Amino acid sequence: MLFHVRMNVHLPKDMPTAQADEIKAKEKAYFQKLQQDKVWRHIWRITGQYSNISIFDVESNQALHDLLQGLPLYPYMTLDIMPLNRHPSSIYDDDR
C-alpha cells in the first residue's frame, strides 16, 4: 500500500543543540535503513520549512503506524497521511 505522508517537525526551542543533533542522527540512520529496505520510497523537503513529503510502501495501515511511531523525531511531529490508490488513467503498470 502506498501512502503520502507530510511530516512537520517542531523541536522545542529550548532543546539543547546536542540533544537535537543526537535525535537527528538517529532519525537519519533509521530513515536510510527504511530506504534501503524500499519501504520509504521517496522524500522531498518542503522549501523554507522543517517539513517533508514522503511516500511509503508498506503492507498495511498498522505497518505504517508502527514505522512512523519508530521515528526518533515522532514525538515532535505533526503528520498528514493520505492513502494512495492507482489512478485508472495511469499509463504505468507498476507504481513501485
In a domain? residue 55: yes
Q: CATH code at 72?
A: 3.30.70.1060
DSSP strand pairing (77-84 vs 40-45): unpaired
In a domain? residue 95: no
What is the reported pLDDT for 18?
98
H helical segments located in the chain: 17-36, 61-69
Instruction: Residue 26: give the domain boundaries.
Output: 2-84
pLDDT tens column, 53-63: 999 999 999 99
Q: What is the pTM of this model?
A: 0.88
In a domain? residue 92: no
- Split into its structural domains, the chain has a count of 1
pLDDT tens column, 65-76: 999 999 999 999
**DSSP state for residue 76 in the 8-state scheme:** G
In a domain? residue 20: yes
